[in-house]
């Protein structure tokens, strides 16, 4: 750490050289003997870099310095509300549950780096993926003749509410999130004349939290079959002793 501080102080007036030192800190090749040290070092460096609106990342082992929102340095803004329901609790398809969890992780990455529109779009995608699989697994007949690949998020929200799986308040806010999710189309954002910011994202995230909570609470309980008692075999009655024959 002393070496790092010395190099940073030497190059504090040279942005390009300073960046090279920081990138070296996040380079896996520097930790071949102690690979477990890399995450701790990157985390420690990011703890003070965030005040400068930057952070180190090393996706795929390639270190890079990216811009981030300085507000992440404040304790009250460390991250979005935690989701209390696990994907595997709601969706039996393990492959789909893992994919949706990955979407959630990507939304967190967008949140941490100030990509507010991208995070909202990812949350909307997550919402649609969860709802369509919940409807298919609980009562596919509610989709009628509509294919699961063509059903809209608007229909899914209404279906989940009509089925009693999400509350009325959650349904209303879901539709607001749906409108922002449509910003995946640039013209939709132009029509609304509004660019989502961190406050918008902070309002959208709890909606997803509420949806998962309601869906988990309304999960049908599987009846546990009662153990079948083994048939009772009749105990044979002892036969009376026969008198011995006289010779």
H, E, C per residue of the chain: CHHHHHHHHHCCCCHHHHHHHHHHHCCHHHHCCCCCHHHHHHHHHHHHHHHHCEEEECHHHCCEEEECCHHHHCHHHCCCCCCCCCHHHHCCCHHHHHHHHHHHHHHHHHHHCCCHHHHHHHHHHHHHHHHHHHHHHHHHHHHCCCCCCCCCHHHHHHHHHHCCCCCHHHHHHHHHHHHHHHHHCHHHHHHHCCCCCHHHHHHHHHHHHHHHHHHHHCCCCCCCCCCCCCCCCCCCCCCCCCCCCCC
Residue position matching structure tokens 């985390």: 43
Cβ distance 163 to 142 under 8 Å? Answer: yes
> What's the pLDDT score for residue 169?
92
Cβ distance 124 to 201 under 8 Å? Answer: no
Q: What is the distance between the alpha carbons of residues 149 and 101, in angstroms, rounded to a whole number? A: 20
Residues of the chain with pLDDT under 50: 74-82, 224, 232, 235, 237-239, 241, 243-244
> What's the pLDDT score for residue 136?
92
pTM assigned to the model:
0.58
> What's the pLDDT score for residue 70?
63
> What's the pLDDT score for residue 77?
42
Which residues face 56 on adjacent strands? 65
Please give the structure tokens belonging to residue 39: 């995450």
> What's the pLDDT score for residue 164?
95
Instruction: Find the helix packing angle between 168-181 and 153-162, rounded to 10°.
Output: 170
Express each pLDDT in 28-65 by its tens digit: 888 888 887 887 788 778 777 777 777 787 765 678 88
> What's the pLDDT score for residue 74?
46
């Amino acid at each position: 750490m002393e070496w790092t501080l010395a190099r940073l102080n030497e190059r504090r007036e040279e942005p390009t050289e300073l960046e090279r030192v920081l990138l070296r800190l996040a380079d896996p090749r520097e930790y071949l003997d102690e690979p477990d040290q890399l995450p701790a070092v990157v985390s420690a460096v990011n703890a003070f870099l965030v005040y400068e609106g930057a952070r180190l990342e090393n996706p795929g082992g390639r270190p890079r310095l990216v811009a981030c929102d300085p507000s992440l340095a404040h304790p009250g803004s460390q991250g979005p509300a935690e989701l209390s329901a696990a994907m595997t609790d709601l969706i039996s398809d393990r492959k789909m549950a893992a994919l949706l969890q990955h979407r959630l992780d990507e939304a967190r990455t967008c949140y941490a780096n100030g990509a507010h529109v991208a995070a909202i779009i990812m949350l909307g995608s997550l919402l649609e993926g969860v709802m369509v699989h919940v409807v298919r697994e609980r009562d596919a007949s509610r989709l009628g003749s509509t294919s699961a690949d063509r059903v809209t998020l608007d229909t899914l929200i209404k279906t989940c509410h009509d089925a009693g799986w999400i509350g009325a308040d959650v349904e209303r806010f879901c539709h607001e999130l749906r409108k922002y999710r449509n910003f995946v189309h640039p013209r939709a954002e132009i029509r609304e004349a509004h660019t989502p910011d961190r406050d918008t994202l902070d309002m959208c995230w709890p909606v997803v939290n509420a949806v998962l909570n309601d869906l988990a609470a309304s999960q049908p309980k599987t009846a546990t079959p009662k153990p079948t008692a083994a048939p009772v075999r009749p105990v044979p009655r002892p036969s009376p002793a026969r008198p011995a024959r006289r010779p």
